[in-house]
Structure 1
Amino acid sequence: MRMLPGDNADLRKARGAFFTPTPVARFLTDWAVRHPEHSVLEPSCGEAVFLHEIGQRGGHTGPLVGVEIHPGSAEESQRSLRARGIDATIHARDFFSHAEFGSYDAVVGNPPYVRYQDFAGEARARARQAALRAGVALSNLASSWAAFTVHSALHLRPGGRLGLVLPAELLSVNYAAGVRQYLMDHFGQVGLVLFDERVFPGVLEEVVLLLADGYQPDGGRGATHMRLSQVRDAAGLARLTGSRRWSPPGNGAKWSAGLMSAAGLSAFDSVVRGDAFTFLETWGDTTLGMVTGSNRFFTLSPDKVDALGLAPSDLIPLSPPGSRHLRGLALTPKALRALGEEGRSTYLFRPADEPSPAGWHYIASGEDLDVHRAYKCRVRTPWWRVPYLRPADLFLTYMNADTPRLTSNRARTHHLNSVHGVYLRDEFRQDGMNLLPLASLNSVTLLGAETVGRAYGGGMLKIEPREADVLPVPSPDLVRRNADQLRRIRPAVATCLRDARLLDAVALVDEVLLLGTSTLSERALRAVRRDHAGLTARRITRGKVGKAHGGE
């Protein structure tokens, strides 16, 4: 790869330009370009690696066109193509400009990957407008590749093929929901090639190859399933033979389950689509916790409450910030008192009506420290009254080294946004409070958490309320039918959790809810457990690599 004058690695990274390995370009062009007369477009072509691959075959007579926003790269691409006798046209333009680049039998390429923090201003506005022309609304969190994918499809003729190198976040990020749904609605066949190892040396981002065939401009009968293939690395593409069929969830839901093995996916799907399991939203509503604007000011330990002389009317009980104390089955009044005795903040300063004299004094001290100028404080009146949420029935941890945990709120305490609250439906409240935290410690739910949650910095698994809604958990009927057996194992499970032996606790619950009820065979359960271990290891490894490189 030749570095052009006035260009450098930092500038290339800023515009999301990464050189595509030859085996990847060769595989995609071989798949997408089926006839020498077919017209081909490579958007954001950079060095035009894909056009070079097509031209080097010889005998291609159809139009070859590239678009590249960087003038120097466009000029160099045109020069190098001509030098090799390849008849191609490179436009030095913004792909999202109003210029018409025509319609093609195939669009192939490696769209630029620019994160939302750097993808701003007019560039973002043009990209979002281009996606909207296809009916796909992208949020402000969308990286550049999302709009490129949709806009690339708009340049296809009916029946055309789209072959792109995309970040693996296509499978898992919320902002890509519209892109996922668009692909399924507007192509007769959709396929993905997944990699065990990173394809781009020195680049943290994992990628997948999108193989979308049979473009339908007006939608119609889109794909009902997709084909998934897996190889070790780019070199393995030359030996790619088989694939497996998978029906992804609808409405743009995540495709993370596509990372499972064939056996694990089959077992997982059979359970999740059956009557034994349901989604957490069946049991109740999951919501964000209270936001104070300054936990340091608003959260108080019992000793600090006494020192300040605050009245009971100034305070409400609080599950301390964080979630380390919510790794068991229940937060009891006794456990809450013990946390307070350890100096944890088990009170929230929140006068419901008129503060006490001591409360007014504390408010004045906060103003001396400019607490009232913090954003969340200054936009509410009065600044010192945190918006109220009633105590939740269950707590759900949302930042997790292992897996999200449900904990019964026996202390009937309030919570901050360091955890989520689950408000159970009336008909399920008793069973949910007593048994759902226990029942959710099963291998299917653990594997489901890896597919609906998101890998975060340091390898943490983050789950938001909307993602928690679709977390697969045992159904109320399954829990009720096995209530006695669950109660019998509860002491042993609680001991395992106290000793940080999560998987031993899960094995006890699996025996009751999965094997004992014939919901899964032993062989299928082994496949689910292997996939959970594999996805967890993948998440943790990615987190360690990201941390070693300073995170991105």
Structure 2
Amino acid sequence: MEFRLSLPEFQTPEDLGHALASWVVRKGSDRVLDPAMGTGALLRSVLGRYDSLGIRRGASRIYGIEINPSRARAAAKILRGQRGARPHLFAGDFLLDGFAIDGTNGFDGVICNPPFVRWQEIPSEYRRLLNEKGGWASGSRKSGLAGLHVFFVRKAFEYARPGGRLAFILPSTTFAASYAAPMKHFLKERATIVALLAMDPTLEVFPGVMTSISLLLIEKRSPPKAHRSLIAKLTQVPSPQDLRKMLRGSVIDRTMRALRPLQTKLAVSANWTNLATRQSLCQSVLAPLGSIAHVRRGIATGCNAFFTLSYNAVEELGLPHHSVRRFVPGLRQVGYEVSPEDIELAESAGEKTHLFYLQPEQETIPAIRSYIDFGAATGVPDGYLTSHRAKWYRLERRKSAPILFTYMTRTRPRFLHNTSDALYLNNLIGIHPIRRMSQPDLMAFLAILNSDHVLRRLLAIGRGYAGGLLKVEPGDLSKLFVPDPAQLNKKDVGKLADSFRRLALLARVGRAAEGLSELNGLVKKHID
């Protein structure tokens, strides 16, 4: 339980809370539960909904539970001070101690923005307890990847009365990941899926946090055979009026994309949020990135402490220069390019920039043999990756990539021009063009890849984690449809190439936003 106390709170924006509350609360007598209330943002929206229905003491109809006692106290102070009535608020762990709330009669509505925590970040003991509580635990054991938010959906469903409405804010990747198959099967068979609304990935719903979210609206009743679920992509947070219009079948603006498939036809294996945003294969200018370039994760050493070295360490150990290769170090100071000068600057600052990367014939050189023996004596060969190599000290062979991708980031993901000839580790993905690209073509390709046009697709396929972390796997990146620079005329290529060069220069002086704005204007004009 302790690990959840330290999780950051991402308060639901007021406009989004109002929209969800307007749907969840149908009449003044409804009882509503928020099982992850934080400081009470969503419950404040519920109170606003009661106000609009003319209910003066609506606070007595709201229930909330929050694991962090200080946040629970803050919620109690805010909510209790309104309308004179006392809400029913508890400090506790809903997933493990849900019985603390009297849910025997069921709630008319559930509204929830659960914490986005991936399975790997959940301590093993807490995982065990979650599995013991049932729900979708069998699916979790099978895949080992179920995020904490998935458990909230299942547990909250138990507390709704038959016919009750439930609204969740979830990572869009929930409906793509394999671990969600048990959840999707359950929802398809046991609930009426009213709507699944994917917010445009470039829309910053939570200020300062780059994550792609979807709104799940369901009712606790078996779906009618002819029921059609609304699946849509939205480019703006809907107002209560907009949400009502959408659910009645109206399109709220020209950028909204929607479809209404039969719920019985929804495939559990499909990415449901992608149904309304699926890229058309008939657009000749678009192609899977994997058809334009090889997409490869960087070298995994298995023990960076041994395999990565500073220049001074290489000299002190007496390692021959041909037994090491430069690699791209941390990218804290780099904008959109990695040059030889960047590597040298990091090297002069004492950073590790050299990789122990020997060839077979070098193993008998005394200094190299001595370093290998040192690694063996300190247990390096016992690691998982090193123990699975034919020779634990020989890393996989890899070439430098002209384009590097920051596939795991809390800020805007970037495609970097690598002119340093340095190798890259598994904190980066390398993009190796299949056909030889001229310098203008490569620069134009980098402009395209760093545009909002591609960012929207990236955020749709990436996986969002706690703290706003975004991760895009190499396999997903290979399937990403992007504009193919080979389909552009030379004039457009030249303009796009110039826009990337300018972006790289402006990023060096802290003006990346200016460069991106100009670049996006060109991409929109010539490609969108």
**Offset at residue 292 of structure 1 (A):** 2.2
Q: Tell me if the contact between 1:280 and 1:473 (Cα under 8 Å) persists in the aligned partners.
A: yes
Query: Is 1:212 matched up with 2:217?
Result: yes
CA contact (8 A) 2:297 2:474 kept: yes
How many angstroms apart in 1 are the aligned matches of 2:10 and 2:516? 45
Q: What does residue 405 of structure 1 align with?
A: 415
Distance 1:193 1:19, change over 3 A: same
- Matching residue's letter, 2:26: R
Specify the SS of the correspondent of 1:152: helix
Partner of 1:468: 477
Residue among 292, 295, 301 paired with 1:286: 295
SS at match of 1:439: helix
* 2:431 match: 422
- 2:161 corresponds to 1:151: no
**1:360 CA displacement:** 0.5
Matches within 5 A, 1:218-257: 223-226=229-232, 228=234, 243=252, 245-247=256-258, 251-252=270-271
Q: Which residue is 1:388 aligned to?
A: 396
Task: Render the CA deviation track for 1:405-436: whole Å, top value 9, x for unaligned.
Answer: 1547895x643123212355xxx433599835
Aligned counterpart, 1:161: 165
Q: Distance in 2 between matches of 1:206 and 1:345?
A: 32
CA distance in 2, matches of 1:229, 1:484: 33
Q: Secondary structure at the match of 1:321?
A: coil
Amino acid at match of 1:149: V
Q: For the Cα contact (< 8 Å) 1:316–1:347, is it kept in 2?
A: yes
Report the counterpart of residue 360 of structure 1 in structure 2.
Answer: 369
TM-score normalised to the size of structure 2?
0.60
Q: Deviations over 1:257-278 (max 9, x none)?
A: 99xxxxxx9xxx8889844223
Distance 1:311 1:284 in 2: 34
* Cα deviations by residue, 1:418-475 (Å, 9 ceiling, x for unpaired): 3212355xxx433599835532413312454455557899998764435534544213
* Post-superposition CA distance 1:492-519 (Å, at most 9, x none): 45752552356658847964x6534xx4
Change (3 A) 1:316 1:190: same
Aligned equivalent of 1:500? 506
Per the alignment, do residues 294 and 47 of structure 1 end up closer, same or farther by CA in structure 2, a change over 3 Å counting? closer
- The whole-number CA distance in structure 1 between the counterparts of 2:418 and 2:8 is 46
Q: 1:85 to 1:34 in 2, by over 3 A?
A: same
Tell me the distance in 1 between the aligned counterparts of 2:342 and 2:24: 65
In the alignment, is the contact (CA less than 8 A) between 1:198 and 1:207 conserved in 2? no
Partners of 2:469 and 2:7 in 1: how far apart? Answer: 28
* Residue of structure 2 in register with 1:187 after alignment: 193
The answer as to whether partners of 2:33 and 2:110 remain within 8 angstroms in 1 is yes
Looking at structure 2, the residues matched to 487 and 19 of structure 1 have their Cα atoms a distance apart, in angstroms, of 43
Q: Does 1:441 align with 2:441?
A: no
Report the residue type matching 1:352 in the other structure. P
How far apart are the structure 2 equivalents of 1:507 and 1:284?
26
> Relative to structure 1, is the Cα distance of residues 465 and 253 closer, same or farther in structure 2, using a 3 angstrom cutoff?
farther
The one-character-per-residue Cα deviations of 1:42-72 (angstroms, maximum 9, x if unpaired) are 6578999699899996799xxx8969698x9
2:111 to 106, 109, 112: 109
Decide whether the 8 Å contact of 2:196 with 2:273 is kept in 1. Answer: no
Q: State the aligned residue count.
A: 471
Q: CA deviation at 1:148?
A: 1.0
Root-mean-square deviation over aligned CA pairs: 6.5
Please state whether the residue corresponding to 1:345 is helix, strand or coil: strand
Please tell me whether the aligned partners of residues 279 and 471 of structure 1 are also in contact (alpha carbons under 8 angstroms): yes
TM-fit CA distance, 1:172: 5.9
Residues of 1 paired with 2:229 and 2:505: CA distance?
48
CA distance in 1, matches of 2:180, 2:224: 13
SS state of the match for residue 190, structure 1? strand
Aligned residue identity for 2:415? R
- 1:515 equivalent in structure 2: 525
Q: Secondary structure at the match of 1:188?
A: strand
1:348 alignment partner AA: F
Question: 2-side partners of 1:21 and 1:491: how far apart?
Answer: 39
Q: 1:14 to 1:508 in 2, by over 3 A?
A: closer
| Contact in 2 for aligned 1:408/1:434 (Cα 8 Å) | no
1:345 to 353, 358, 378: 353
CA contact (8 A) 2:34 2:64 kept: yes
Q: Write the letter of the residue equivalent to 1:515.
A: K
Residue 482 (str. 1) matches residue 491 (str. 2): no
* Matching residue of 1:32: 24
Give the % identical residues: 17
Gaps of 5+ in 2: 246-251, 260-265
Please list the CA deviations of residues 311-341 of structure 1 after superposition, one character each: whole Å capped at 9, or x if unmatched: 57x736443334567944x97xxx5998599
Q: Which has the higher contact order (CA 8 A, sep 6+)?
A: 2
Question: Aligned-pair distance for 1:187?
Answer: 0.3
Query: Quick check: 1:162–1:210 contact (8 Å CA) kept in 2?
Result: no
SS in 2 for 1:290: coil
User: Cα offset for 1:361?
Assistant: 1.8
Is the Cα contact below 8 Å between 2:199 and 2:214 reproduced in 1?
A: yes
